[in-house]
Structure 1
């Protein structure tokens, strides 16, 4: 279903073009490299089968065979096409270098330049392993077996995955915080990148919870951005591996913590975003939820605002203006929003032993609302 070159133009959703994961690219590169190792010829394009049956074909961007003291090695590379998703790895060159391994060893994975190594417990890979996730590993094993059967190979190979400039790209990801050092992770559960699904971000939130739990953390903070994260650290003194870069995905944090609880959760964020959570929204992105100033006006009235102030809040241009009006009048709108946001969170966490507190901040990082811990 894919186009030559890995372009996924035939897989569309709402007019947006799907792309392929780094795991799919690494699988295609491995298949081409192993065939070249056995036959001397690189298939180009190279087709693979993904877990849901798609059969994309990838053009090779680079290829080569070398002879050295360690024996013959073949390398192939594919440029990642993330489709219309704003993926930081879009355009990255994913390489696979393959050479003969020890008899009976099967497929042994190595992290080449630009691919990280796991250094913390709690991830789906053991400490010391290359950051090539379980599904890409299985896909790679399958293509190695396929090529071995077709070309008379043993299937005992070392597969080294690398990504050009991967270490630099990884600085824009969660990897350093998760303890994946030296580069990117080779990701993908379906092989397909769905535009704006932000599946990689949500997966990173889940892995962040896993790492915090494995480290024995009893208190984590889900923060909407760097400003609120700094406030959460200042207030609670939390270590880096207890911080979850929640962004707009409050629902992802809460739903995963419901299944994998940590005793205490702090939710810290900008007042406007947390007003959306207070109103019951779990996705805080501006394209999917809006600040409801009528709701803020009702909260203000419950907090003691007179009719004039209530009307002014309802007519405010921004959430910031609404909180400024209420603060000037001594109406605790920030605390009311924090309490309502805590109630929304506890509604998702119901039945799970997680206590929740909420901190609302303005753009300067000043705390404008608090709700103290309240258990399920």
Structure 2
């Protein structure tokens, strides 16, 4: 007799706390993909059942809840985590119990766990392209601002290396604010930015603090057309929260934007909005959370099991036609071949893609072994692109 038992899967994204806006989009993208999988017959007739807890953005809670999912709820696979501090809290749990974490967030690289599938961008898929684009179009005198945790520190280190390779490259300042930063924190920062007059600002501010930075930047009179904030973390979710006025003219590097004009992407967004309305703004982290869930389902169908030893070989090297284009899980490092893009927020509050999006995916190089600037410049879509 065929096994018809439901398959529990962990969904470990915060719906409250400092990063709730972006993590809610990841959670709902996962629920959306699960609903599509179940509507298509599940996995060999078995229904996927999400087991969701709210860790409230606190690393210790991610760790405790991951353990609970595995020990009490029978979960073998967890889709989850946004901040690097939360991923690092969960990795020891999945390694101890021989389970698998799918991580759908751009991150700082320089990591490998055999128990993680990394579906967000590595530094050679967003930081390298952003450094190249910004220094060619705006200059190489940079002011860096981020939140006070692992990802901003490491991203600023990587960006500093890229900037200092450029003639005239200079880091004017490197500032950090709490995840719970207030308007007062950012007022001091933007005053310092204005005084130092950089060519651009590199931001790894995340969560609710993003809105405060961009609003303070506009209020002090900084011109985004001439001195934009360039970010790896500001997506449609944060733009929707802050309003298009504060975001207009600023730039983000990511593999996915909801403005991608392909029929496949626009159809996916339409299906999502039909089911969940307009409250959630599709974004880079939403898309990775969506495609990784489908990727898991395809691999489990092939493996016949969600047990780690059976599932992993079916994931490595597997391709999927995601909304951004065809992606592939790299068998050597568990990261994902992605399609880097650069986009700028227009007057309507939407990202207009101004560079990237070529048919060839960029192979993940989380340890930056090869020179990322050279690889970007040699790609067919890395010619000069218009700004604004």
After TM superposition, the score normalised by the length of structure 2 is 0.23
> Is the radius of gyration larger for structure 1 or structure 2?
1
Specify which structure has the higher proportion of strand.
Answer: 1
